Amino acid sequence: MSNRPSKSNSASQRVRAASNAGKGRSSNMLWVGIIAVVMVVGVIAVVATRGGGSPGGGAASPSGGTVVPNGNLDNGPVQVKGAGLPQMPTAGPDTAVGQTVPIVAGAQFDGTQLNITGDGQPMVIIVLAHWCPHCQKEVPLVQKWLDEDGMPTDVKLFAVATSNSSAKPNFPPADWLRREKWSVPTIVDDKDNTAGNAFGVSGFPYFLVVDKEGKVVYRTSGEKTKAEFDAILQAARTGQALGA
């Protein structure tokens, strides 16, 4: 409180005077400056983004029949036969284990039909979202492992590209998966995410392990290591959940 006026002992009259009337004016100038800066920022934003379209089309798709086929379907028709699975719980026992997995019929990126069904073979279904950073990290890893070890001959591998939205990053999913040379047969989900919901997806990337009788063995989500991915394939083969 040192800026309080001190009391004078002299027989004098204290007169208060505004010594610096210009200070009120300088505050107004500060406001003018702030508003001007905000307006300049607005003009910069408008000018800098004027005429800016979406990034140009992706590079030419890599050749090779095993990679994601040509086509840029963002959403496809999906049909589900059978009861959908409940969402995977974040904790506690998974009630979907032992439940029969529905058959999902849909379209790939080029519109050709694909049915996700084991038909007496075990299968692993990977559900992906183009905007999910975990999926963006996991897809090239899984593809690398498949390139090194070859596609498993005794376990069917399928994928679902779901939650597709042009308002979200890394769109469209077809460009992304083509870039990664993704070789797993993939269904493009519809706008209601029917396929993803039918498989009980709760987070990405999502792995649904199904035995040869078409029943859920194990479900998991998140990025996986090579050992974990191999264990997922093994769980499908044996019908035994990890650690069981």
Examine residue 242 and tell whether it contacts another protein (CB under 8 A): no
Of 87, 73, 55, the C-alpha closest to 191 is: 73
Per DSSP, which regions of 22-110 are E strands?
Answer: 79-81, 103-107
Pick from 126, 196, 209, 211: which binds another protein (CB under 8 A)?
Answer: 196
Q: Which amino acid is at 203?
A: G
Q: Which of residues 95-134 bind another protein (CB under 8 A)?
A: 129, 131-134
Is residue 166 at the binding interface for another protein, with CB under 8 A as the rule?
no
Q: For residue 75, state whether it binds another protein (rule: CB under 8 A).
A: no
The answer to whether 188 and 75 are in contact (CB under 8 A) is: yes
Find out whether 87 and 201 touch, Cβ atoms under 8 Å.
yes
> Which residues have CB under 8 Å from 169's CB, separation 6+?
130, 131
Helix locations, 72-132, DSSP H: none
Does 243 contact another protein by CB under 8 A?
Answer: no
Q: Which residue, 40 or 83, is less far from another protein as judged by CB?
A: 40
Residue placing its CB nearer to another protein in the complex, 151 or 226: 226
Q: Which amino acid is at 20?
A: N
Encoded one letter per residue, x for contact with another protein by CB under 8 A and - for no contact, window 21-60 reads: x-xx-xx-xxx--x--xx--xx-xxx-xx--x--------
**The two structure tokens encoding residue 166:** 């042009």
* Rounded Cα distance, 169 and 164, in Å: 10
Q: Applying CB under 8 A, which of residues 59, 148, 150, 167 lies at the interface with another protein?
A: 167
Q: Which helix (H) or strand (E) holds 128?
A: strand 123-129
Quick one: 162 or 183, whose CB is closer to another protein?
162
Residue 1 binds another protein (CB under 8 A): no
Instruction: Tell me the site size for another protein, rule CB under 8 A.
Output: 56
- C-beta of residue 102 within 8 angstroms of C-beta of residue 125: no
Q: Which of 16, 64, 65, 92 binds another protein (CB under 8 A)?
A: 16
Distance CA 165, CA 136 (A): 15
Among 128, 139, 201, 209, binds another protein (CB under 8 A): 201
Interface residues with another protein (CB under 8 A)?
3, 5, 8, 10-21, 23-24, 26-27, 29-31, 34, 37-38, 41-42, 44-46, 48-49, 52, 90, 129, 131-134, 137, 162-163, 167-169, 193, 196, 201-206, 221-223
